[in-house]
A and B are shown apart, each in its own frame.
Chain A
Amino acid sequence: MDIIKKNSAPDKTKLAHWAQKFALEHGAEDTSIVISRNRSINVDFRDDQIDKLKESTQNSLWIEIFAGGRYSTHSTNDLRQDALEKFISDAITMTKFLGEDPYQSLPDPSLYEGRPTMDLELYDAHYTTVTPEDRVARARELHDLIQGRDERLISISSGFSDSHYENTHLKSNGFEGNYESSSFSSGASVSLRGENDKKPEGWRYYGARHLNDLPAAQQIADEAFQRALDSMGQQKVKSGKMPMLLENSAAGGLFWRVLYPFTANAIQQKQSFLEGMHRKRIGSEHLTLVDNPLIVRGLGSRYYDGDGIAAKKLVLVEDGVLQNYYVDVYYGRKLGMQPTTSGSSNVTFETGKRSGAEMEADLDRGILVTGFIGGNANTTTGDFSLGVSGWLIEKGQRVQPVSEMNISGNFIELFDSLVETGNDPYTYSSLRSPSLLFDGVSFAGN
């Protein structure tokens, strides 16, 4: 516990215990309380001057109330004790008007046991050393690294932000957790003058728990500028089935859509195309997905989940076969399934031998997808249709920048067509996908 407490202010723990005691004395049978505080500072720099400076501190108390088989949740940012007394009393009164739900109760305390003792390094001690001048200097540096590179530049925006988050979680049947985390974000967007009044744009933003894990300013500036250049002259190409090489940083735009179908919630509500697929094949042998909350400094890393379940690795898919779902306590009870965890932390992929660039050089004809725009997926059937942009690749060369195209299909067919995974997992996201090569994806263009 000491590891994760660090500078947590003790008064949040005290306030949580007070609120729990007050609620239990005023008609609640059980409670789960989260008190959090988030301090964040944000600098936006644009066209040679500070565009916006923003500072904020937010507090919140979130209480789940279990009373007479009934359940409700309540949140407030007014943490004065007298305001909280009225807030909690009203919340308990309201709960009593609701219907009974036999599945709503606190988790079995045995699920709390075995919390990891390793240091996940969610908090960076550098956080307190960043000065207002540093933030402006970092944002300005990105801007200055891009300025003057091209006469077609219309506008350069850059930004730096950092935040500090503290969280105390208390459940009335014996769960208590405290942690704090930091985050830093840095990036730039670039607009260029293109043809036909088009303003091709490119951007690159990175986030990390530790300041020194952000890429160097030069890299961020180069990538943002290059992405704007890459979108010059984008156009659609002919419709057809082609290989799709999915860039590692873009893959999250596809995979977050399949997280919900992996949940007990989706299965119990009959909204998951993965229902009934336990121990069955849902993709090629290259598809291995593991939920890993224990990655040091990982963006989705945690010691315990929202149900208080101690964090551990969970194999979702192994060699194309579905092994586990995200089973939270409530929907697990409804389905008669043992809880695993209430939702995703970091999702990791099997990694292969080659980088995205090497896979690209070997591609005879296909589309490199570097970004998604819009679209949606039907979680019940697994059908999807998504806007994409990127490059047409021929004989390993980027021959035409493309946009205004769609990919459509079904996730199971898509996963089955996964032929290679790269060695380059993207670590600036909780979806840590490497570059992925799919064979035979339906692209719609002209």
Chain B
Amino acid sequence: MRIMSRRDFVKVTGTGLALTTIPGFMQKTLAGMAGGSQPHELYFQRFGVDPEIIRKVMSEALAHGGDYCDIFFQNTLSNSIRVEDNIVNSASTEVELGVGIRVLKGDQTGYSFTEDLSLNSMKAAARTAANIASGSKRVPPTELKAIKLTNHYQTNLSYEDVGVQNVVSMLKSVNDAIFQQDSRVVKAGLRYSDSENYILIANSLGEFATDYQPMIRLIAFCTAEHNGSRESNYFDYSARDDFKFLTPERLERMPKEVVARTIKLFEAQPSPAGELPVVLKAGGAGILLHEAIGHGMEADFNRIGTSIYSEKLNKKVAADFVTIVDNGTNPYTRGTINVDDEGVPSQETFLVENGILRTYLHDRISAKHYGLKPTGNGRRQSFKHNPMPRMRNTYMLNGPHTFEEIVSNVKFGIIADQFTNGQVNIGPGDFTFYVKSGALIENGKVTAPIKDVNIIGNGPKVLEEVTMVANDLELSEGGWTCGKNGQMVPVSQGMPSCLVSSITVGGRG
């Protein structure tokens, strides 16, 4: 939906964090071996390595006395297909293969990667990463033991076996259905993408893990014209699942949603401006948690004291009925992982429990700093990147109120139901999220629709302003992607309907 500015090599700082559903367009593939979840041996085979080769590479990585090293093999096969003007006008495939080698010395990181999996090339990369340390050689582990994992995304069908014809015919029927919804629709577009990510990670603790991480995403775009004006909107699905995720029910819902969301905008007015009560509708509203607290709870910021949450652990930050988790184990959810990218099994982590701030999100570096176990939040975009503490699926648990009670409580405010993107500055705690569509609430009743308004607040202040939480928690099925230090990872989020008593709403009034 947009052209990125050409600033690709200007460093993105650690303080500007972005979350968006609008794709950094995905590419994907054919090629390769049999797909799906596999026994460990097949992962070693895929990368042409065995424990002895890995030991040799580790030996180089620890040549200067690093405290710890890990080796992350990755093979990603991805496909994407685009429908525009009623035809498939583009399809792409992508193959990525490589290994990233990381050496830690205290909280310092040496990192290198290679796309060439020959022993010599891996050893050279390991020697580069080893340079972060400057002591005497350490001995790598003599054997590698598999880490036991639970599979949260059982799949039966590899994307390689789906067949491009089947995807194309599915897309055509969704495309036709969009135009059939309403004669005011003048353009429709679809972007389908799938990917299969095979990883093998081994570390100097003598552990290894393998995982098969599928992902699917389907986005529908629509533009309609009415009385001389024009509006566009989109609707999307994503899951860590195989092709079965696109059930007849979901495929039937998609054209209806995207058209209804577009048509609704014709009646929408610009939002009122200023500090107002805002009701967030269950689902994608979890973007508030992602920005207002999630990033600030990532322990890399806290261990150096630069987050607004650095001094708040075990303090009361919200009402008693507020409990917020970051969970990597929700079945088939976009942010779910069986194991993180440093070989730590995924788990459910409590950020806030009954209003009390509980646990930061840790990778191995921060866990060691705090003397804790890592929480399975060490994630990376690919073998080309070092892991950092990152969110998975972030959501609030159900509260004591109902949606109707919440709305009837608002004299004048807005209700927000479609969210597209957000951002936070973790030091001051200021964050934003963008409301694509919503409505006014006047005297406890939902009235005129509104559109296109940015909301801005301060994390800890807004948590205190969450005064009502309903019992209708929904996890978003949208294709959320979180950006941090230039690395993108898939996440999800959720929320029961809730009331934020006061927050600054953009708008022109």
Contact = CB atoms under 8 A, between A and B. Distances in A.
Contacts of A90: 30-31, 93
Given A78-B95, A203-B13, A206-B10, 9 more contacts: A87-B95, A197-B308, A198-B427, A207-B9, A234-B428, A256-B3, A269-B189, A373-B16, A406-B273
B94 A385 contact: no
A34 interface: no
A367 to B, nearest CB: 14
A59 to B, nearest CB: 6
B1 A52 contact: no
Contact of B30 (A75, A91, A185): A91
B262 to A, nearest CB: 10
Interface string B485-507: 00000000000000000001111
A430 B456 contact: no
A256 B428 contact: no
A47 interface: yes
Nearest to A241: B508
A50 B275 CA distance: 44
B230 A381 contact: yes
B434 A375 contact: yes
Interface string B455-497: 1111010000000000000000000000000000000000000
Contacts of B84: 269
B430 interface: yes
A159 interface: yes
B27 A256 contact: no
A160 to B, nearest CB: 9
B91 interface: yes
Contact of B187 (A270, A386, A446): A270
Most B C-beta atoms less than 10 A away, residue of A374, A385, A442: A374
Interface string B292-319: 0000000000001111111110000000
Given A98-B168, A99-B87, A53 B504 contact: no
Interface in B59-98: 81, 84-85, 87-98
Nearest to A103: B89
Interface stretch (B137-145, B340-348, B416-424): B416-424
B94 A155 contact: no
A55 B112 contact: yes
A155 B306 contact: yes
A46 interface: yes
Contact of B115 (A78, A97, A207): A78
Interface in A237-264: 239, 252, 256-257, 259-260, 263
Nearest to B384: A56
A53 B131 contact: yes
B27 A404 contact: no
Nearest to B88: A99
**In the complex, the 5 A-B pairs of residues with the closest C-beta atoms, listed nearest first:** A374-B432, A406-B506, A199-B427, A374-B423, A444-B273
A77 B108 CA distance: 29
Contacts of A218: none
Contacts of A187: 11, 13
Contacts of B159: none
B29 to A, nearest CB: 8
Contacts of B274: 239, 444-446
Interface string A349-390: 000000000000000000000000111111111011111010
Contact of A205 (B6, B13, B189, B457): B13
